[in-house]
Amino acid sequence: MASESIIIKNYPVTNLSCASCAGNTEAVLKNQEGVVKAEVNYANTTAKIEFIPSLTSSEKLKQAVQAAGYDLIIDESDEAKESLEQIKEDNYKKLKKRVIGAMIFAVPLFVIGMFFMDMPYANWVMWALSTPMLFYFGQQFFVGAWKQLKHKSANMDTLVAVSTGTAYLYSVFVTLFPQVLHSKGIHPHVYFEAAGIVITFILLGKLLE
């Protein structure tokens, strides 16, 4: 009798940025009361869920997924499907603008960081160029990492945010207090260009994907 009361649904999942995100979403669904089986496919961004309706509902599953930083599209109407396609198209256009913007900043940042790092105020110029690259064009990585941290989890956003954020903060410290390293006989070197270029290439990869 229990098997007869099981409902099987396939719902689109949004805000997935890597295979780890799909794994996290799947784990969230599996931990919900009443869920018999859950499989999240990152390639087609869908979740196949088997659950007992007397113990849970699509609405509750959607709320659980949203709390983890993702979303479950449970509306199965034609209008919802069209809306989902429009959301994907809008997200693509926004990502394309971010990639173009990041690349515009990346070119002078790369040139200065590789060939003109000893010019006057080079560190300050690179600081100014890299800041919008990380915290505007690459904002999604830091927002995603924060959401994962709140749920004691991690994904690709965490890796990107920690690596570029660490390089950025170290470079800021070196720019403001170079004498600290000089006093220890160490020549201070900044990594603004590395942080900015990493953000740009990952955004480009997402666009191509």
Q: Do 25 and 13 contact (CB within 8 A), yes or no?
A: yes
- The beta strands (E) that lie in the chain are given as 7-14, 35-41, 46-51, 71-72
Which pLDDT tens digits describe the chain residue by residue (209 residues)?
A: 444 588 999 999 988 878 888 888 999 999 999 999 999 998 888 999 999 998 999 999 999 998 888 888 888 777 777 777 788 888 889 999 999 999 999 999 999 988 898 888 999 999 999 999 999 999 989 988 888 888 787 888 899 999 999 999 999 999 999 888 878 888 888 999 999 999 999 999 988 87
Q: Do 143 and 158 contact (CB within 8 A), yes or no?
A: no
Separation CA 29–CA 38 (nearest Å): 6
**DSSP run (H or E) holding 57:** none
Separation CA 87–CA 78 (nearest Å): 14
